[in-house]
Structure 1
Amino acid sequence: MNYWLVKSEPSTYAWEQLLKDKKTCWDGVRNYAARLHLMDMKKGDVVLYYHSNEGKNIVGIAKVQREHYPDPTTDDDRWVAVDLVPVKKMNEPIGLDAVKAEVKLKDIALVRIGRLSVMPIRKKEFDVILKMGKTTL
């Protein structure tokens, strides 16, 4: 199993909307590095859900339900989407400042490559984030 972090602006698609919808097609990604990460996602992989711009918090945990397929929002076959389902809301959201302040997360892609919308994270980083969010899986 692999671990990932995806970003969405709450005004575009909030965690609460994913909870309500119970499933979403993670589409519209137009960055080549992020696309490669989507293509590496496997069914059952765990995904941290991060609210970008407004809030800047890790707010939930999702899982990959369907591996990559052609992005339905474009006719350009270079782009892919995956399906995500919600697993659990974080008991306490973890702000970007807290992530940056945690020495065990100094190498996390969220800090190193801030503009990337889909990124891998290490199991040990995932575990630290769960502990910070007072959340178990």
Structure 2
Amino acid sequence: MPYWLMKSEPDELSIHDLQRLEQTRWDGVRNYQARNFLRSMQPGDLLFFYHSSCPEPGIAGIARTVSAAYPDPTALEPDSHYFDAKASAAKNPWSAVEVAFVEAFKRVIPLAQLKAQSALLELPLVQKGSRLSVMPVSAEEWAATLALR
């Protein structure tokens, strides 16, 4: 089973928000490589839920993909922060998926701790200049990260 990491700013959607909601749409991805990873996700795939752009960035928990990718409706909503004037109902280049809550960690695994793990050196998250909001995680990286919680 493929594993993933998805970033969210906790003031927009935190692991605790997802826990309360139980399931929600993951939308607003506007990078083509991240979008392609999103399109590769399948129902049942597990993902690390990463809090970004906050005082303590890090992995906050686990979620599960519950749908295959579908056209992101926010691209067509003029009032949305993720509106894309070039998108149309017939040709929407952006995708979204549904995700469900699995687990909130007792503590966020900080980015600094992730960067210090030799088993995670190839993880795009810890590589300099990587800003993808959706990325694959190998089975070995998944296991190494779970051992940190």
TM-score norm. by structure 2 comes to: 0.86
State the 4+ residue runs in structure 1 displaced beyond 2 angstroms: none
> Are residues 1:115 and 2:116 paired?
no
Aligned position for 1:60: 61
Q: Distance in 1 between matches of 2:9 and 2:130?
A: 14
Hey, what's the Cα distance between the residues in 2 that align with 1:86 and 1:121? 18
Amino acid corresponding to residue 119 of structure 1 in structure 2: M
- Within 2, Cα distance between the matches of 1:32 and 1:88? 28
**Counterpart mapping for 1:1-137 below 5 A:** 1-54=1-54, 55-75=56-76, 76=87, 77-112=92-127, 114-133=130-149
Kindly provide the CA deviation profile for residues 4-34 of structure 1, in whole angstroms up to 9, marking residues without a partner as x. Answer: 0000111111111100111110001100000
Give the C-alpha shift of residue 91 in structure 1: 3.2
Query: 1 CA distance for matches of 2:142 and 2:23?
Result: 22
Of structures 1 and 2, the larger Rg is shown by 2
> d(CA) in 2 for partners of 1:91 and 1:128?
17
DSSP-derived class of the 2:73 partner: coil
Q: How many residues align?
A: 133
Counterpart-to-counterpart distance in 2, 1:93 and 1:21 = 20
Q: Which amino acid aligns with 2:59?
A: I
Identity fraction in percent: 41
Alpha-carbon distance, 1:111 to partner: 1.1
For normalisation by structure 1, the TM-score amounts to: 0.93
Shift of 1:58: 0.2
CA RMSD of aligned residues (A): 1.0
* In 1: Cα distance, 2:106 partner to 2:11 partner: 21
SS at match of 2:147: helix
Higher deviation after alignment, 121-130 or 90-99: 90-99
5+ residue gaps, structure 2, are 77-86
Partner amino acid, structure 1, of 2:100: V
Shift of 1:72: 1.2
The structure richer in helix per residue is: 1
Q: Secondary structure at the match of 1:84?
A: strand
Structure ranking higher in strand proportion: 1
Counterpart CA distance in 2 for 1:116 and 1:38 is: 11
